[in-house]
Structure 1
Amino acid sequence: MTTGEVTRRPGIVDAHHHLRVRARHPQPWIDPHTMAAADFTPVELAPVARAAGVAGTVVVQSVAARSETPELLGIAADDPLVTGVVGWVDLTAADVGQRLYRLRRVRGGERLVGIRHLVESEPDPTYLDRPDVRRGIAEVGAAGLAFDLLVRHRQLPAATRLVRALPEVRFVLDHLGKPPLGRADPGDWRRDLRALAAEPNATAKLSGLVTEVDAASWIPADLRPAVEHALDVFGPDRLMFGSDWPVCLLATSYARWVSVLDDLLGSLSEPERTAIWCRTAGRVYRLAPS
């Protein structure tokens, strides 16, 4: 398969994408010069996802706002393509369990499969070590939900301490912890990712890598070391595909990312590839069949 060609593998689960209507939920982390004028809704997602053979998706929260998650759940209730929602709650609240209970009773609440917080933006380097945060994440796990870890590579040791301290919680590392591809020595990232992967309750997404390299000049070989290291330490059964659409549009199209990843996984067996393309996400997020 050549780069840019769209894979036709049926049944893919896109375990990581976003939706936004900018008037309701501005997202300043999206480059304002390239994407501020656009809304990203299921109408825009469906054609590119279906063309890539995607049968189901997981939409992931983008802002720390209580109003976003019910909106995403409502979208999931109406759109059969969206099979799961990773939402947001204030992890430090005293009533995290009750907030999760209420979310599950809004329209589409049965599609809530996980919770995420924008840890990468937290100024406190000990955020994941805080007792109140850990108590909130424990409540997420007790509710049967996964917890998505959005961290930068320097935060991986704290993430590993958290994962080790809460073995009953299913953790999903977003974007492989944002490795410093081509910008710095990846030695610390490689070591810290291996340490995280040693915890059996941790999985990871092959997503978000194209925005960690030069958007204008990257080639698939720039991503291969990170993908191969993730395969080595996690194995295919604990890795899942994510498009990171529409953020990926800063560096590539949906189709090109699917094609590039398909090439990077070319040495794997068919069952191993199936794990990454759909089975791991279905198991970890406990998705209903699409």
Structure 2
Amino acid sequence: MATVNRRIIDAHHHVWDLGARPQPWIKGEALAPLARSFSAADLTAQARAAGVTGTVVVQTVCVPEETPELLALAAGSDLVAGVVGWTDLTAPDVADTIAALRERPGGDRLVGIRHQVQEEPDPSWLLRPDVRRGLSAVAAAGLVYDLVVTPGQLAAAADAAARLTGLTFVLDHLGKPPIATGELEPWGADLRRLAALPNTVAKLSGLVTEAAPGNWRTEDLRPCADIALDAFGPRRLMFGSDWPVCTLRADYTSVLGIADRLTESLGPGEKDAVFHRNALRVYGLTDFGPPG
């Protein structure tokens, strides 16, 4: 693997305990390897060996119990620097709920909110008045909003970001480009439209699982990464492993190496931005320093 900057922030990973609650999205033979519990301890050794100094753990299910658990996890961790949690954006008391989360153990590490928009049948869900009011509450709280959307929802995401200029929108997994088919339009055009807005950032994450199963190569991912680099630039892209979902295609170290190769055209300062500084700035993270 080529060497990335020694200080690395993994801006996107998950944990879950099937003993605590099910993960309804894990269904079918293709996702069967994920049908077990994955803890922060499972990740730590791999992350430390790769030079990762901090991570952002991201919600997986839209239930109120998960976010307090992730905050408590972060409170006891010297690796998990930030939590992107969930709250019901359509609830009248969304601002109070966010404030209450911040009073919990680890509440100082709440950095963002996410909803599983990709599961919403309405492609314009983000533009609903009640959702926009909730997003305004996220902005007022000084948090960012992570976008997990499908390509068909990117246009609505761009419209939402254009209307809510005081909120930073972070696009997860580059909007799940259709890498397996290679038909990159209209995804590419919609991504560029989103990237044209100054309050948007994207994660170089989740690409390996969009590739076709079997004999895929890093070069299959490069066209999408190149479009994102051109559209957002290295100052608005962040590395994320999407562990453990990434393990469907590649292990942690391999995913980091793939991201390194996809950004090989960047200079040292630009690489440091993608793999470290951007996450610190966008999420307001505490930098835990180099691993011991």
TM tier, smaller: over 0.9
- Moved >4 Å (runs of 4+): none
**Alpha-carbon distance in structure 1 between the residues aligned to 2:3 and 2:249:** 19
| Unpaired segments ≥5 residues, structure 1 | none
**Alpha-carbon distance in structure 2 between the residues aligned to 1:164 and 1:251:** 35
**Alpha-carbon distance in structure 2 between the residues aligned to 1:184 and 1:174:** 19
> Larger deviation: 109-118 or 258-267?
258-267
Match of 2:16 among 13, 20, 32: 20
**Alpha-carbon distance in structure 2 between the residues aligned to 1:130 and 1:281:** 29
When residues 44 and 7 of structure 1 are mapped into structure 2, their CA distance, relative to the original with a 3 A threshold, is farther
When residues 221 and 14 of structure 1 are mapped into structure 2, their CA distance, relative to the original with a 3 A threshold, is same
Q: Which residue of 1 aligns with 2:25?
A: 29
1:264 Cα offset (Å): 1.4
Query: CA offsets, 1:157-200, max 9 Å, x none?
Result: 00000000000001100000000113152120110000000000
Match of 1:126 among 124, 127, 130: 124
**Alpha-carbon distance in structure 1 between the residues aligned to 2:241 and 2:116:** 18
Tell me, yes or no, if structure 1 residue 147 matches structure 2 residue 145: yes
Q: Which residue of 2 aligns with 1:234?
A: 232
**Alpha-carbon distance in structure 1 between the residues aligned to 2:3 and 2:205:** 17
**Alpha-carbon distance in structure 1 between the residues aligned to 2:34 and 2:245:** 12
Aligned-partner SS, 1:187: coil
Match of 2:90 among 73, 83, 92: 92
Q: Which residue of 2 aligns with 1:215?
A: 213
Tell me, yes or no, if structure 1 residue 68 matches structure 2 residue 57: no
When residues 49 and 32 of structure 1 are mapped into structure 2, their CA distance, relative to the original with a 3 A threshold, is farther
Query: CA offsets, 1:144-168, max 9 Å, x none?
Result: 0000010001110000000000000
Aligned-partner SS, 2:231: helix
> Larger deviation: 119-128 or 160-169?
119-128
Tell me, yes or no, if structure 1 residue 49 matches structure 2 residue 47: yes
**Alpha-carbon distance in structure 2 between the residues aligned to 1:265 and 1:8:** 10
| C-alpha contact (below 8 Å) 1:6/1:256 kept by paired residues | no
**Structural RMSD (CA):** 1.2
| Unpaired segments ≥5 residues, structure 2 | none
Match of 1:230, as an amino acid?
Answer: A
TM-score, reference length from structure 1: 0.96
**Alpha-carbon distance in structure 1 between the residues aligned to 2:35 and 2:152:** 32
Query: CA offsets, 1:57-92, max 9 Å, x none?
Result: 000000001000000000000011000000000000
Match of 2:246 among 229, 245, 248: 248
| C-alpha contact (below 8 Å) 2:2/2:261 kept by paired residues | no
**Alpha-carbon distance in structure 2 between the residues aligned to 1:6 and 1:253:** 16
| C-alpha contact (below 8 Å) 2:34/2:244 kept by paired residues | no
Q: Which residue of 2 aligns with 1:10?
A: 6
Query: CA offsets, 1:185-230, max 9 Å, x none?
Result: 2120110000000000000000000110113221000000001100
TM-score, reference length from structure 2: 0.95
**Alpha-carbon distance in structure 1 between the residues aligned to 2:277 and 2:97:** 29
| C-alpha contact (below 8 Å) 1:6/1:255 kept by paired residues | no
**Alpha-carbon distance in structure 1 between the residues aligned to 2:180 and 2:76:** 41
Tell me, yes or no, if structure 1 residue 277 matches structure 2 residue 275: yes
**Alpha-carbon distance in structure 2 between the residues aligned to 1:219 and 1:255:** 16
1:7 Cα offset (Å): 4.0
| C-alpha contact (below 8 Å) 1:30/1:247 kept by paired residues | no
1:125 Cα offset (Å): 2.0
**Alpha-carbon distance in structure 2 between the residues aligned to 1:209 and 1:138:** 30
